């Protein structure tokens, strides 16, 4: 009898691409990329990662959260703005 592989439980490629496209800006303006980079933010790393300065025209630090994604050979930062 065959054993299930890790590949058999991964989502189909089309579904992954669809999910990633949901993160991109769209032409109707319902989702937009913000017009600044990570240098517009200041972070505090201890005891937990948090945004301490963010552009005031977009609600300041209370409207943003930060994540660090670390792997063996990469490190990425993600800043998310709450619109509610």
Average pLDDT over residues 30-44: 76
5-14 confidence digits (pLDDT tens): 555 555 677 7
Per the prediction, the chain carries an average pLDDT of 76
Indicate the helix (H) or strand (E) that contains 3: none
HSE-up (13 A, CA, CB side) for residue 47: 0
Alpha helices in 22-80 (DSSP H): none
Whether the model pTM is above 0.75 = no
């Amino acid at each position: 009898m065959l054993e299930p592989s890790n590949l058999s439980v991964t989502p189909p490629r089309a579904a992954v691409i669809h999910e990633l496209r949901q993160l991109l800006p769209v032409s109707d303006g319902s989702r937009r990329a913000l017009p600044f980079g990570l240098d517009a933010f200041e972070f505090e790393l201890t005891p937990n990662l948090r945004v301490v300065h963010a552009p005031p025209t977009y609600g300041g630090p209370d409207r943003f959260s930060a994540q660090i994604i670390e792997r063996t050979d990469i490190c990425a930062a993600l800043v998310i703005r709450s619109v509610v």
